[in-house]
Amino acid sequence: MNGAPDHTDLLVVGGGIAGAGVALQAARRGARVTLIERHDWASGASSRSSKLVHGGLRYLAQGQWRLTRASVQQREQLLRELPALVRRLGFMLPHGPGLNPGRPTLQAALAVYDALAQRRSRAWVSAADASWLVPGLHAPGGASVYDDATTDDARLTLRVLAGARRHGARLHAYTELQALQRRGDGWNATLRTPEGHRRTLEARCVVAALGAQLGPWAARFGLAAPLLRPLRGSHLLLPGWRLPLARAVAWQHPADGRPVFAYPWLGCTMVGTTDLDHPDPDTPPRISAPELHYLLHALRAVFPRAGITAADVRSTWAGIRPVVAGDGTPSAQSREHLVQAGDRLVVLAGGKLTTFAEMAQQALDLVQPWLPALHPAGAGLGLADENADADAFSWENPCAPVVDADAWARMLHTDPVQHLDDLMLRRTRWGLCLPAHGQRLLPRLQRACQQALGWDAARWAQECVRYQRLVRTDHGLPADADTDARTQESTR
């Protein structure tokens, strides 16, 4: 934080989509905002989600009307304001013996879904049309179709951060909140900088958007501990050619009836997801062997002839949902968010990527008494005039910046990274989408990285070792998965 002032109106802690949304809205409304993130931007749940911008048909089935309505309305707003970054995605739900829910139930739910979005997208297609739209899909009873949307969650977060920066917010990655102490009319925050130094920042008020890490912090903030239940969700990414899809397919898992899906994403096919307790949020989330087999089992139910095995998996990721705790199974937990005010402090957790703007608005309503000079909220998200070309670039051809080395060297200058994995896993998705986590690209990236980031050869070597270890542990197959599959994986 060299050169930054040591006073701020609002300190936002947590550089996921929730913290980014708060920083953007507060900066737009005239506050002096400082946002800190202990790792890279979006390195928590906000780069590890299922990347759907959706109302969540299953939340409707659970009777979560408010959440579904807010989500579909925000989906439509994001589609309008960020058309290059948030894209409409057609969904298909196959029908037939053993495939639930049946057509009448689903069509009734979709009618409500359409009504909430004030846009009709539902239809039913015959078995013949279903197999034409999604070759190889097992849908003997035809299929229901409707629209939702998808995005790149990390890029969405980066885009919101870019907006916050443009409105004057100061953003500091790799800067950790270590302690908070109440003083006069605000807080003293003790921060650990990227260089390992301790700094004190005085803030008139604080918004803590710590995701799954909120639980342990609540008591230190002097708040009643919010009851969060950390739940892990894991995903597989297959090469697009191995299961080519032009739209999403969603169905219920044959083993437990949970919703699962497969859909096209950045030239690959994503399969998800699981929902398991992950009691220690400080343990990095990784897919386990049972989750891998659960997702492969799901694929066999509706793509029986595709013969997808662990050997087909290109990469994996898992994230932790900080879900507001209730009774029942993980999947039955509400995806509503939690916004709670303390003494010049607001905590924000749970919810969804899709509803980040609503969460930010509610957090700022609680902050307003301590920052009475906040301007009234402006219309829309305030992002429309950001650089949409960059978004389109990354969607259409996720590897294009490698070809155009100048373009991505410029990107590193304007949006520097601390580590190679920041570049490979979040600024770009090369580490997930390319064979062998993009290892073959590394020699081509070396010179530009060293020039743009000032890394010497020793630093480059360290970064490569760090990256390779990370992708092996967090983005490969589980250590105890079938070893034949892991051997083959490195060549795909």
Ligand X SMILES: Cc1cc2nc3c(=O)[nH]c(=O)nc-3n(C[C@H](O)[C@H](O)[C@H](O)COP(=O)(O)OP(=O)(O)OC[C@H]3O[C@@H](n4cnc5c(N)ncnc54)[C@H](O)[C@@H]3O)c2cc1C
Which residues lie near ligand X (CB under 6 A)?
13-19, 36-39, 43-46, 48-52, 54, 176-177, 209-213, 233, 273, 319-321, 349, 351-354
Largest distance between two CA atoms of the chain: 71
Residue 428 CB, nearest approach to ligand X (Å): 18
Residue 12 CB, nearest approach to ligand X (Å): 10
Residue with Cβ nearer ligand X (14 or 438): 14
Residue 441 CB, nearest approach to ligand X (Å): 25
Q: CA dist 423 to 21, 165, 353, 430, Å?
A: 22, 19, 21, 8
Cite the DSSP H helix spans in 309-353: none
Q: CA dist 260 to 221, 256, 352, 353, Å?
A: 37, 11, 17, 18
Residue with Cβ nearer ligand X (131 or 175): 175
Residue with Cβ nearer ligand X (233 or 330): 233
Residue with Cβ nearer ligand X (212 or 417): 212
The residue behind tokens 């070759």 is 135
| DSSP β-ladder status, 33-36 and 123-125 | unpaired
Residue with Cβ nearer ligand X (190 or 488): 190
Residue with Cβ nearer ligand X (139 or 164): 164
- Cα distance between residue 15 and residue 40, in whole Å: 8
Residue 74 CB, nearest approach to ligand X (Å): 9
Peptide bond into 487 cis (omega under 30): no
Element (H, E) at 28: helix 17-28
Residue with Cβ nearer ligand X (209 or 341): 209
- Cα distance between residue 347 and residue 223, in whole Å: 9
Q: Using CB atoms, what's the residue nearest to ligand X?
A: 16
Residue 11 CB, nearest approach to ligand X (Å): 10
Residue 249 CB, nearest approach to ligand X (Å): 15
Q: In this structure, what are the phi and psi dihedrals at residue 443, rounded to the nearest 5 degrees?
A: -60, -30
Residue 128 CB, nearest approach to ligand X (Å): 31
**Residues paired with 322 in a beta bridge:** 230
- Cα distance between residue 95 and residue 103, in whole Å: 7
